Structure 1
Amino acid sequence: MIELSVKDIAQITGGYLDCVADPSATVTASVEFDSREVRPGGLFVAFPGARVDGHDFAAQAVAAGAVAVLAARPVGIPAIVVEPTGRPTGAEANADIYAHDVDGSAAAVVRALSALAQAVVERLPQLNVVGVTGSAGKTSTKDLIATALRADGPTVAPPGSFNNEIGHPYTALRCTQDTRHLVAELSARGVGHIAHLARIAPPRVGVVLNVGSAHLGEFGSRANIAQAKGELVEALPANGTAVLNADDALVAAMAARTPAQVVTFGVDNQEADYRATDIELDDVARPTFVLHAPGLAPTRVRLRVFGRHQVSNALAAVAAARASGMELADIVAALEGHTNASAHRMDVRTRADGVTIIDDAYNANPDSMAAAIAALGYTTASRPDARSIAVLGEMGELGEDAPAAHAALAHELSKFDVDHLVVVGESPNCVALANAARTQGVATIVAGDSAAATEHVRELLRQAPAGVADWASREAKDVVLTKASNVQQLWRVAEALVADGPARG
């Protein structure tokens, strides 16, 4: 964070100083809400929660070197206290912490954090803010954009999916006087959420990837999702750039909602400004393609991330980096060196015995499920006699359409010739998936939990395919995909399977 005195922070957040001997004491290090991450000169944010109350760790944070604590009540040590003003509604209510916010204490701290982040961004006129949203692919694309922009100068991007009104300001507060670019991932659970986040760190470049069915249960319709995602391009200035997916009609229509310049990207729409042709996948589904960009010669691009869907993400990253002033050659060189940056997202490991594990278990919705199943299919197709094994759990927040959405995955499993399905969980949604898969001819078992699923997969991997005599000597063997909404923690299955044999790459 830029250097600010505790007095300045109190004025910005609307709080008051308590137990502060020197109001000019300056915060010179990062802002943290985990007391274990506090460094000398930092600021500790005390979030009240259902299970853990950050106020209980305030003394520990100060002992670790925090200059002060941003708190909702006095804690007997140097603090900037912001008083509760009620629980949030509408555009501010996009974080799970509010479910247990009885008196508005958490809301007060979040509002203060947001105000502080907004003030920091306003004090950094050189900062180029790139916002990314979409129903699927936000984190992967954010990581690709950040990799490209780092070749141009110091860049801040959120770790993992820090994309709501806690993670977003936390990320913006990592910016310093030296920061050239901020890449912001923006999520929404309702109309108004992205507009709220965009006010904290106003974007100059806005990337909209797709309008799918993630959070359909909360939005009610894809039209409402499109309305929410389009708030990003509405927030752009006239001298900004909207980067829109020409393959998605609902995204393409957002061009009418922004005063900014519009550029498009697409894999299927060959009228897009940034497009790909001649797409090829290697034996672990890493794509190579020919990039076509405005006014430039076609360029061959070879990615080190996994899945055909990454081509569209890479096109979005190229367009965003170009809109940020970078040259194409520098962007391509950076993207070709990019490897998976966020945990449990298309993290592909091949064990020494030839078994490949695809850990994409951080989150799931119908669009990302289809992309992951496709990656499983493409990877297995290059391996004679190898079996494809999908370990799938429940997709959350799909509303009344959830059983049908889970059943529809059976078509994707059949389309890509998946041999075995392990459904983890016995909810109605899981049962719908299992029954539909069996109807499609996919060998299916329902496991009660991750441990049972792991054992079932282990048993499959121990058996050579029927009629294959030289299986032990094969270099490339079976492929396993794990995917579900994060709460299912199916990454535990992937980690256990990887640990069964040393990885070779």
Structure 2
Amino acid sequence: MDALRLDDVLEITGGRRFGSEGEPELSGVSIDSRTAGAGQLFVCLPGERFDGHGFAQAAADAGAAALVVQRELPVPLPQVLVPSCLAALGALGQARRRASPQALVLGITGTNGKTGTKDLAAAALGADRRCVSSLRSYNNAVGVPLTLLDVGPDTEAVVVELGSNAPGEIEALSRMVEPDVGLITNVHAGHLEGLGSLAGVRAEKAALLTGLVGRRVSILNRDDPSYGSLAAMAPGEVLSFGLSESADLRARDVRCSVESTRFVLDDDGREVVVRHLGRHAVFNALAALACAQVAGVDRAEAVQALAQVPPPPGRLQFKQRGGFTVLDDSYNANPGSLAAAAAAVAELGHPGRRVFVVGDMLELGSSSHELHRAAGRALAQSFPQLLVAVGSYARDVVAGAVEIGLDRDACITCSDREGAHAALASRLQRGDLVLVKASRRMALEDVLTDLSLPEPEGEAAIAP
């Protein structure tokens, strides 16, 4: 980002200055004292576990030039006192976006696929545009302004991921981002504890469309059941993607393997290859190509760029373990993403047994028991040879799976990761493909730590 002056910070945040004298030129903005650099403005964000005010001196020792604070601190730096450091960070991000009118800004939200689509869209636009995009899953009131603060005068495109688990969050983030283009990947049951119902999820995601400015282009999933209602709310042009014949950007001839997902674009016959696995990756790639089309990026260059993008961490990543293969999809889970992961395993053509290790899907509110039972039914349709359900809703998952015909002897319920580890240690076989999927707070990726299978007799590797 361009250098900020302290007077700029005061004007943008409406804060009051005190502390050390001087007019430092600020090289950037940081919220983490461990990564704060020389000349940066350190914003002392209070949080549930840590309070940035307690790390202000460490930031100063690392070279920070000024602080944004909610209370005066005995730190020898210029300080800007504000009612809310979080609101001040948002104001700084919005100011940076408004100072860069030359950039096409794309906002991406949806229940599933946000981060994968964001990465693919950033690659497609970056093929011939100077592009800034959200790091990892920086999609909340902290991560979004940090993304915007990376925008500079030479930035031509910005891809921002927007997340929500409560009503009004997408609206607030959209006001900050002021996107020219809004992309909604899909609408499924997720974060129902805060959003209440599928209708509540749909209304929350649709707030991205009502917040569009400039070109006001909406990019929507033609195959999603909410397409019609979302398209009706779009303030301008609608560009659709999907497998449906009525999609503007349509894929056909989908082929899934353990290495990649391939499909053919219906309008020009061009083959697209992505390293992201599963049929749902087709929708993410189509959405990214729709973004490139709106931005005027050459399609051949965009398609070539997509082929280089690795899957995000914890999203259907292959990991070889001692004697078996893990398909790590443990970053998060809701009913839609769990069903998509199970379907992906069924399509990959892996020769080993299918072993599903699934944990609780959190934040589903009063629908939790019902949705976990439905998840079990969805899992059973991919015919696992072993299902290990972990957590408070494990019995619901197994009940749903058995209900539509999965053998009860192929199902195990465990209350915690330790129990699942023990069950897998006695049940796994060499060559198995193990899908691991759960909500982030379950930390289910740890269930396979230090687990390996012995070499079969007579096949031990010979040391050179």
> Which of residues 298, 301, 312 in structure 1 aligns to 2:269?
298
Partners of 2:61 and 2:376 in 1: CA distance: 55
Aligned counterpart, 2:224: 248
Is residue 134 of structure 2 the alignment partner of residue 163 of structure 1?
no
Aligned counterpart, 1:308: 279
Aligned counterpart, 1:54: 52
Deviation, 1:231, is 1.3
Is residue 337 of structure 2 the alignment partner of residue 368 of structure 1?
yes
Q: Deviations over 1:315-343 (max 9, x none)?
A: 11100111112011011000112112x32
TM (normalized to structure 1)? 0.85
The alpha-carbon distance between structure 1 residues 50 and 350, as it changes in their structure 2 partners (threshold 3 A), is closer
The alpha-carbon distance between structure 1 residues 498 and 185, as it changes in their structure 2 partners (threshold 3 A), is farther
Aligned counterpart, 2:116: 140
Structure 1: 4+ residue segments shifted above 4 A: 494-501
| Secondary structure of residue in 1 paired with 2:34 | helix
Is residue 407 of structure 2 the alignment partner of residue 409 of structure 1?
no
> Which of residues 238, 241, 246 in structure 2 aligns to 1:271?
246
Deviation, 1:145, is 0.7
Q: Deviations over 1:117-159 (max 9, x none)?
A: 1111111122221111111111111111112122123322222
Give the percent of matched residue pairs that are identical in Structure 1 and Structure 2.
37
Q: Deviations over 1:340-399 (max 9, x none)?
A: 2x321122223474x2211111111000000111122223x441xx21111111001111
Q: Number of aligned pairs? A: 451
| Secondary structure of residue in 1 paired with 2:141 | coil
> Which of residues 304, 316, 329 in structure 2 aligns to 1:346?
316
Partners of 1:358 and 1:6 in 2: CA distance: 48
Aligned counterpart, 1:390: 356
Contact between 1:266 and 1:312, CA under 8 Å: does it hold in 2? yes
Aligned counterpart, 1:177: 153
The alpha-carbon distance between structure 1 residues 394 and 369, as it changes in their structure 2 partners (threshold 3 A), is same
Is residue 418 of structure 2 the alignment partner of residue 435 of structure 1?
no
Aligned counterpart, 1:123: 99
Is residue 232 of structure 2 the alignment partner of residue 233 of structure 1?
no
Consecutive unaligned residues in structure 1, runs of 5 or more: 85-107, 465-476
The alpha-carbon distance between structure 1 residues 357 and 57, as it changes in their structure 2 partners (threshold 3 A), is same
Aligned counterpart, 1:27: 26
| Secondary structure of residue in 1 paired with 2:310 | coil
Contact between 2:26 and 2:65, CA under 8 Å: does it hold in 1? yes
Consecutive unaligned residues in structure 2, runs of 5 or more: 456-464
Aligned counterpart, 2:81: 82
Partners of 2:195 and 2:48 in 1: CA distance: 26
Partners of 1:372 and 1:285 in 2: CA distance: 15
Q: Deviations over 1:21-67 (max 9, x none)?
A: 11x211113x2211101111212111122332111110110110111
The alpha-carbon distance between structure 1 residues 157 and 499, as it changes in their structure 2 partners (threshold 3 A), is farther
Deviation, 1:456, is 2.6
| Secondary structure of residue in 2 paired with 1:35 | coil
Contact between 2:103 and 2:155, CA under 8 Å: does it hold in 1? yes
Deviation, 1:495, is 5.5
Query: What letter corresponds to residue 414 of structure 2 in structure 1?
Result: A
Aligned counterpart, 1:100: none
Q: Deviations over 1:423-457 (max 9, x none)?
A: 122x2x22211333344324111223223323332
Deviation, 1:460, is 2.5
Partners of 1:454 and 1:285 in 2: CA distance: 27
Partners of 2:148 and 2:358 in 1: CA distance: 34
Deviation, 1:83, is 3.7
Partners of 1:206 and 1:493 in 2: CA distance: 38
Aligned counterpart, 2:256: 281
Deviation, 1:497, is 5.0
Partners of 1:138 and 1:168 in 2: CA distance: 14
